[in-house]
Amino acid sequence: MVGGGEFTDGCTFDRTLLATSDASEVVVLPTGAAYEHPGRSVDRATSWFAGLDTPVRALDVLRRPDALDPANVAAVRAARFLYLVGESPMHLRSVLKDTPVWDAIVAAWHDGAVLAGSAAGAMVLCDPMVDPRGGAFTLGLGLVANITVIPEFERWSEDAVHRTRKLSPPGLAVVGIPTASALIRDPDGTWRADGAAALTVYVDGHLTDLTALA
């Protein structure tokens, strides 16, 4: 889960993720950028991964009908490295929730594919997820349990962080991820930080560290 600023120099973890995935291409879904020039996200991804000697395949799953398209479902299911990008978690959730494309994402991940989500793409993997409009909680897609993330954490106000900590359900880990940084779950289920900046972890509203993540 990447805190935004994906496909930039601080994102050194992408090389490791590529090696782990053994992927011949990276499949990018710019769903969360549907109303914010999704092609620009794809162009950045293409340029970035070209520097890592890996081509990018864009899947324009931008509206809910796209998430029902058998061709998109097949492409996702066959992928070994999937990347969800964009800034609108609400749109991303509404497009993917209870669709064949989301089912294919989950199945690919369970089969060992690398699944990366940046900004909105990171937020929706959790349930509950943080509502970026004010720091309260709302429904996510629920792939990750007992953890929720705040991307672009360095841009959050103290008031918003305080509100999120106060409203956090008991036992939920809230992880602040700065841009060009990542919270990574390794195949053995352990969590680690990587990238440009340190992560911030709260459980029950109290500051802790990554050892608290189950």
Selected residue with higher pLDDT from 189 and 77: 77
pLDDT tens track for 9-31: 999 999 999 999 999 999 999 99
pLDDT given at position 214: 67
- Does a structural domain hold residue 2? no
Whether residue 187 has pLDDT greater than 70: yes
CATH code assigned at 179 = 3.40.50.880
pLDDT given at position 133: 80
- Could you give the number of structural domains in the chain? 1
- Does a structural domain hold residue 168? yes
The whole domain housing 168 covers 13-212
Which distant-in-sequence residues (6+ apart) come within 8 Å of 194 by Cβ?
12, 13, 16, 181, 182, 184
- Does a structural domain hold residue 1? no
In this prediction the pTM is 0.95
Whether residue 145 has pLDDT greater than 70: yes
Cα dist from 143 to 11, 35, 86, 148, 150, whole Å: 23, 25, 18, 11, 16
pLDDT tens track for 35-71: 989 999 999 999 999 999 999 999 999 999 999 999 9
- Does a structural domain hold residue 8? no
